[in-house]
Amino acid sequence: MSNPLLAPISQLIDYAQINAEHVVPAIEQLLTQAKTAVNDLNRQPVATWDNTVTALNNATEQLWRAWTVVGHLNSVINSPELREAKTACLPQITEFSTWLGQNESLYQRYQQLAQSAEFSSYNIEQKRAIELALRDFRLGGVELQGEARARYGELSEQQAVASQRFSENVLDSMDQWALYITDESQLEGIPADTKAAFAQAAQADDKAGWKITLKMPSYLPVMQYATNRDLRHTVYKAYATIASDQAQKPDLDNSEVIEQLLRLRAEESALLGFNTFAELRLETRMADTADQVIDFLRDLAQRALPFARKDLEQLKAYAIELGISDFQPWDAAFVSEKLRESQYAYSEDEIKQYFTEPQVLNGLFDVAQQLFGVQFKPTTLSVWHPDVSAFEVINQDQQPIGYLYMDLYARAGKQGGAWVNSERSRRRINHDLHLPVTYLVCNFSSPQDGKPALLTHDDVITLFHESGHALHNLLSTVDEPDVSAFAAVEWDAIELPSQFMENFCWEYPVIQKMSAHVDTGAQLPLALYNKLLAAKNFQSGMQMVRQIEFSLFDMLIHNQSTGLSITAVLDTLDQVRSEVAVVIPPSWHRFPHAFSHLFAGGYGAGYYSYKWAEVLSADAYAAFEENAVALSDGSRNTLDSTTGMRFRDEVLATGGIRPAAESFAAFRGREPSAEALLRHSGLTEAAVQ
């Protein structure tokens, strides 16, 4: 096969052979094939499951897989050639997607299926697929006519292009900024392994000294450990003004893109008969209305604010002890780390020495095996970068159930953050079963000086979080891709498995398995673990209100009947901060300009999902706490396989075959309660007594 993007859906992709020049011809060929196949199936006189739903998936599956691969590569090995190829295809993909969503013949066929005598004999997956398809047709503008229909297509294309531009501006703004240091004294306080990475980065640029970038493995250690306050201020300001009018290079300013996206989203919503974009988005969520979400967030804020204010007072008082009388936001991470060391007698850098990447992965895989009966077997699949590892996922019967690619290190040309995506969902066609293929992407520090990569405990939590998403896709027993987890689970429940997995990072039996000191191989000592656990809710009030700030801001700017100017956007953020924040950034701070979740990642009017799903995940984990076994060292073992298998069967394996509320109730036996979240976060009166 000369073009690896044209590989049959039954085959795995040969990533190492993909070049930018493959993108346009592959996408154009697959678009033509898909459109022809859809037109052919619409000519079938009587709609049946096979000649409609199965035929539609057959017609489009290879196209959507190839487009996912292109988007993925654009995020992890971005190059001018790849970006140009994706940009060239984006309007055609958007046009096809809109044409498909507004295809009246197809819509009528699904209506025929829903009204047919055979519908009652369909299984739960088939009924759910038809139900969701009819909903999505309506939300895709199938009932629009004339100018309204044409305008909807224009809006879809313009939003896709604007979101890509937003993402590119963020990536380019981050990659174009660098600070070269030649005086080592300016780096006082920064850990030795981080300084070694800085030196290696400078050497790669043929520069002397040390290179600091805005990638998280570089940015965060500076903010946490650098005693040089001017350096912290410089790096903080660069990060806080990414892709904005305040940036060092304002040619990548996202102000107009934000205005454009808000305007387009409001117009799209109005076309479809909704008052706001938030109202439109909530049609596919667990939450019913924007007011319900806003009330939920404000209620959480009122519970958390007393703790957040106490956290800040403590931070400012300790800053004075450190000689910082005028506490500023760029001091927060530094003072927090010093305060943590003072209160709990350990540093994050000390903890990090115990979490080598290979050992953490062993511990993660052990948790998955104990809870869900699956193994991760390293395999030599074709990959897109030498850093990438590939695994075959094996069930209790030693049968493969999926494939996982892990791309864990930060590098130039790679989008920041951490995420999971599905290249291919599980699908059964007659006697053939296509196994799911999943990407897990992070941005950790890479190995240095011949030693394995070291992960902070926060990195470990991030890895477990993303593994929850990956397991949601990999452990699916759903045979219809239209009701797979990533296709059909409500957005405000999609974070349940990921946030659930984070809890195990705080259990000593798990930490024992996944810790091995980089020099001695020793496990994390119980005494040091107890310090880590004691600090678990260190500044949890501040962390809680920060997430509420993001969520409330998102919901308010999208709960508008029209777009907003960038001035109004920033004013809204200021108003939200005055209501729920305790740390107020400077006026030049431009957080929205790099808020890719909202403007390039699908979380518009949905960022509240993290807090909404955290209620579900904390309550789900409480079931494991209730079945935990006390151990002789005073810790507990929450890795109860019986409870784990119930969680797998009722939540992970079921995908979107039923509403998420029903899956949660099937596992927990009742509706969710927020009490476990507040208890886990230390935000109860009992926690401070």
Q: Within this chain, do residues 135 and 185 fall inside the same structural domain, yes or no?
A: no
Are 421 and 473 in contact by the 8 Å Cβ rule? The answer is no
How far, CA to CA in Å, does 46 sit from each of 124, 136, 407? 22, 22, 47
pLDDT of residue 480: 97
Q: Within this chain, do residues 425 and 521 fall inside the same structural domain, yes or no?
A: yes
pLDDT of residue 687: 41
Spans of the chain below 50 pLDDT? 686-689
pLDDT of residue 1: 56
Residue 145 lies in a domain: no
Are 643 and 624 in contact by the 8 Å Cβ rule? The answer is yes
Are 341 and 233 in contact by the 8 Å Cβ rule? The answer is no
Residue 591 lies in a domain: no
pLDDT of residue 686: 45
pLDDT single digits (tens) 422-453:
999 999 998 899 999 999 999 999 998 899 99
DSSP 324: -
Residue in the block written with tokens 């493969």: 400
DSSP 384-444: SSTT-EEEEEE-TTS-EEEEEEEEEE--TTS-SS-EEEEEE--EEETTEEEPPEEEEEEEE
Q: Within this chain, do residues 118 and 202 fall inside the same structural domain, yes or no?
A: no
Q: Within this chain, do residues 223 and 85 fall inside the same structural domain, yes or no?
A: no
Q: Within this chain, do residues 132 and 203 fall inside the same structural domain, yes or no?
A: no
Residue 335 lies in a domain: no
Angle at CA of residue 495, ends 493 and 501, nearest 5°: 130
Consecutive H or E run containing 659? none
Q: In this structure, what CATH number is given to the domain that contains residue 41?
A: 1.20.1050.40
Q: What is the dihedral of CA 275, 278, 279, 280, to 10 degrees?
A: 100
Which positions are catalytic? 466
Q: Within this chain, do residues 521 and 648 fall inside the same structural domain, yes or no?
A: yes
Domain boundary among 111, 139, 167: 139
Identify the CA nearest to 140 among candidates 129, 149, 131, 130.
Answer: 149
Identify the CA nearest to 354 among candidates 193, 521, 507, 534.
Answer: 521
Q: Cα–Cα distance between 243 and 248 in angstroms, integer?
A: 9
pLDDT of residue 685: 64
CA 621 to chain centre: 20
Q: Cα–Cα distance between 249 and 243 in angstroms, integer?
A: 8
Domain boundary among 139, 164, 190: 139
Identify the CA nearest to 69 among candidates 93, 101, 105.
Answer: 93
Are 600 and 170 in contact by the 8 Å Cβ rule? The answer is yes
CA 373 to chain centre: 25
Considering only CA atoms, give the Rg of the chain. 25
Residue in the block written with tokens 């979080």: 465
Are 504 and 638 in contact by the 8 Å Cβ rule? The answer is yes
pLDDT single digits (tens) 330-369:
999 999 999 999 999 999 999 999 999 999 999 999 999 9
Q: Within this chain, do residues 49 and 192 fall inside the same structural domain, yes or no?
A: no
pLDDT of residue 635: 87
Q: Within this chain, do residues 124 and 209 fall inside the same structural domain, yes or no?
A: no
Are 102 and 142 in contact by the 8 Å Cβ rule? The answer is yes
Q: Within this chain, do residues 135 and 193 fall inside the same structural domain, yes or no?
A: no
Paired with 28 in beta bridges are none
Q: In this structure, what CATH number is given to the domain that contains residue 494?
A: 1.10.1370.40
Residue 367 lies in a domain: yes
Helix axes 609-626, 290-321, angle to 10 degrees: 80
* Antiparallel, parallel or unpaired: β 389-394 and 375-379: antiparallel
Domain boundary among 139, 155, 188: 139
Q: Cα–Cα distance between 656 and 487 in angstroms, integer?
A: 7
Residue 348 lies in a domain: no
Residue 551 lies in a domain: no
Residue 581 lies in a domain: no
Paired with 432 in beta bridges are 429
Q: Within this chain, do residues 83 and 204 fall inside the same structural domain, yes or no?
A: no
Identify the CA nearest to 620 among candidates 498, 505, 496, 502.
Answer: 496
pLDDT of residue 688: 39
Identify the CA nearest to 124 among candidates 647, 662, 490, 494.
Answer: 662
Burial of 8-44, coded b for 16+ CB within 10 Å and e otherwise, reads ebeeebebeebebebbbebbebbbeebbebbeebbee
Q: What are the structure tokens assigned to 300, written together?
A: 């959480």
Count: domains in the chain? 3
Q: Within this chain, do residues 116 and 213 fall inside the same structural domain, yes or no?
A: no
> Range of 188's domain?
180-241
At residue 98, the 3 state secondary structure works out as helix
Q: Within this chain, do residues 649 and 505 fall inside the same structural domain, yes or no?
A: yes
Residue 412 lies in a domain: yes
pLDDT of residue 648: 98
